[in-house]
Amino acid sequence: MRKAFICPTKYVQGENEIKNLGYFVKTFGESALLIAHPDDVKRVKDKLDETSKKYGVTFVESDFHGECSRQEVARLQQTAKDHKCSCTIGLGGGKAIDTAKCVAEGEALIIVPTIAATDAPTSHSAVLYTPEGAFDDYAYFKQSPSVILIDTTVIAQAPVRFLVSGMGDALSTYFEARATASSYSNVNAGLPCGAREETCSPAKGTNTALALAKLCYQTLLTDGRKAKAACECGQVTQALENIIETNILLSGLGFESGGLAGAHAIHDGLTILEGTHKYFHGEKVAFGTIAQLVLENAPKEELEAVLDFCLDLGLPVCLRDIGVESITAEELQEVAKKSCIPEESIHAMPFPVTEEAVAAAIITADRIGEAYKVKRGVSA
Ligand SMILES: [Zn+2]
């Protein structure tokens, strides 16, 4: 059986770690193309100036336009060439990070997430959009990022909703990796020429990735509530450090090498509902996780542990919590249909999945979540 594991070369996190960014740039050369939204640069400007001086490196500002499009990527690659940049830095949230991955094309790349809202920073894939902001395509690269550098002070001071949303994304990781392992589904990890089945032969997940996914879930249960409190005060504590590592590293390695299954596919289906659009990825994934647990008829204790976690953190447990006040039978059917298209990860579940079963799981998860809120005395 062919198995594979893929990961970034270096991961480093610490208080004020951006002050060491110059050190990592220096390992590649004298200058780096800095892809970041101007607001994010402003937040860390002092640290960038300090590290640039200390290590004698130059950050070439890129005037990033905020959208990860083919046009923007081509423009930035030209800027990098013009300034003879020896590496690329993606600093900020999802779009800056994805754009940096596309510009670097698997070469020297430093990712500096300023929020811990998803597990995307560690992965070797990105999402391309049209200049108008519509979905274009997925992009995969020959290598994962060279360095993931996380300044925990910056994450602690970011809005707490990002951190909680990242925990929602991380919540699904173990259950999806477990399902993928049970079904011996391909995870498409660690492949030499990109991750698409049509370009190379796929591989199964490793025990390593499954163990990391398990640790991801355990750490959420142990430290999630404490980390949220720390972030509410803007403070770095050990619990917050553990959750930053969980949201970004454990969840990232767990999903990329352990595989996705029901939760993310149901998330994808839910995105066709207008009401969900103002909710973050991880918030919708949290509800998708509950729906997957219903779909696979997980034990009551497990389902209740997840519901308790979500309610304590303020993560969604029912459709109303992700902006869906009511849903028609036709809409539910459409959501289930999108969740079950042939290329979706839902087919990594260890049993045949039908649209009817997914629709039933979503509506039942909604009912269970609503009832659990009443039981726990959570209003609205
Ligand atoms: Zn995700």
What does the pLDDT look like over 78-113, one tens digit per residue? 999 999 999 999 999 989 999 999 999 999 999 999
Catalytic residue list contains 39: no
pLDDT, position 48? 98
- Given a cut of 60, whether residue 57 has pLDDT beyond it is yes
- Given a cut of 50, whether residue 343 has pLDDT beyond it is yes
Can you read off the two tokens belonging to residue 49?
A: 């100036």
Q: Residue 201 — very low, low, confident or very high, per pLDDT cuts 50/70/90?
A: low
Distance 9 CA to ligand 1 centre (A): 21
How far, in Å, CA of 211 to CA of 178, rounded?
A: 10
- Given a cut of 90, whether residue 199 has pLDDT beyond it is no
Distance 170 CA to ligand 1 centre (A): 7
Distance 120 CA to ligand 1 centre (A): 7
Query: Do 291 and 266 contact (CB within 8 A), yes or no?
Result: yes
Q: Which residues pair with 91 in a beta bridge?
A: 36, 112
| CA gyration radius, the chain | 20
pLDDT, position 200? 58
- Given a cut of 70, whether residue 195 has pLDDT beyond it is no
Query: Residues 98, 151, 169, 223: which is the catalytic one?
Result: 169
pLDDT, position 380? 63
Q: Residue 326 — very low, low, confident or very high, per pLDDT cuts 50/70/90?
A: very high
Determine the average pLDDT of the residues in 223-234: 98
Please name the amino acid found at residue 257.
S
What are the chain's domains? 10-156 (3.40.50.1970), 161-376 (1.20.1090.10)
| pTM for this prediction | 0.95
pLDDT, position 337? 97
List the single range of 67-76, 130-139, 246-255, 348-357 with lowest mean pLDDT. 130-139
- Given a cut of 50, whether residue 197 has pLDDT beyond it is no
- Given a cut of 50, whether residue 27 has pLDDT beyond it is yes
Query: Residues 98, 223, 267, 321: which is the catalytic one?
Result: 267
Q: Could you tell me which of 249, 250, 260, 259 has the C-alpha nearest to residue 204?
A: 259
For residue 326, give Cα distances in angstroms to 280, 286, 319, 321, 368.
19, 19, 8, 11, 16
Q: Residue 136 — very low, low, confident or very high, per pLDDT cuts 50/70/90?
A: confident
Distance 48 CA to ligand 1 centre (A): 29
Return mean pLDDT, the chain: 94
Helices (H), ranges, the chain: 21-26, 38-55, 70-82, 94-104, 152-157, 160-182, 207-232, 238-245, 251-258, 262-270, 281-295, 300-313, 329-339, 355-376
Catalytic residue list contains 124: no
Q: Residue 190 — very low, low, confident or very high, per pLDDT cuts 50/70/90?
A: very low
DSSP 1-34: --B-----SEEEEETTGGGGHHHHHHTT-SEEEE
